[in-house]
Chain A
Amino acid sequence: MTIDRTSPALSVEKLSVVYGGYHALDEVSVDIAPGEAFGLVGESGSGKSTLLRAVAGLAPVTSGAIRLSGEALKLGRRDKAFYSRVQMVFQDPYGSLHPRQTIDRQLLEPLAVQGIGDGESRILRALDEVGLGSNFRFRYPHQLSGGQRQRVAIARALILEPAILLLDEPTSALDASVQAEVLNLLEQVRRDRNLTFVMVTHDLGVVTHICQRLAVMRSGRMVEELTSADLVAGRVTAPYTRDLMRASEGFRRGERSAA
């Protein structure tokens, strides 16, 4: 497979996801450059997760196009080659690991699916990369903490050496202190492997920490696309983005919300 370095790593054009007349995603277009970290923020139901899931093949695309490095993706079932280039990390590490399989078994699965040998050394390397020792290999998910489970989920996504990592609220189920560790890990693997990130989050602090650019979504549409620097400096145009910024500053007494 030839990878075109000049075109966006991921390009989405007029993508819509419609569930029985309800537009979960409404003609959204975005280009994400290779090596870029791109954030999607918004409230529940804004379509941010749907966009991620549509790219991953987990939500049915009604219309529109998705391109990986300039190459149009056949919509519908993704092939194996797709999953070796694009992997996903889910929000809830308690729900995204198989409860009755060892960590070893779960890390082996993507390798088996892709027909990649050399499992042993790859698993050890993957565990090492996410900061878990080889003694975690034969444990079950219930024997790990939330942060350790999320590290396993990241290891499982990285073991196929993908170019794009889709992250759906990867730290919102974790404690603040554990969140910091996982965010540091994500930043490091991105640097080491020159990965492209697409990250969904509702936390503006997290998104500006990890991502260079972001889009604010609401009701299935993008209301604003801006750089993290613009957001930090308050150079925003959409009133909804302003609401989100105010909300992220925390509670202030005697203030009626702008509902």
Chain B
Amino acid sequence: MNVAQAAQEIGGKIVIAAEQAAAREVRGGYASDLLSDAMANAVKGDLWVTMQKHVNIVAVASLNELAAIVLVNGREPEQATVDRAREERIPIVCTPRQAFDVIGILYGLGVRGRRMD
């Protein structure tokens, strides 16, 4: 499943880098609202589910080569975030659903967390 398909499944709209969205494969998922935690544990190709909307989320997604950022609860990225995500070509998906449901839907479709302990 690619990011565009995942966005559709969770009722989200791709607000940044829609062109990249179709091309990026979703290999797994990670959920966290602490950036330091996401940096340490989200891996390349993960879909990152979060409610954080400030510009630093783009650095994390870029650093860890994540598939996309999913913003839940109807939250929208701040302007600085939008600008940076465009620059870095990181897809951001916005959904009105809450994280619990988003993750449930994706898990049901076979997306898994891949963090090794």
Binding partners A and B:
no
Taking beta carbons and an 8 Å cutoff, which residues of B are in contact with A?
A: none
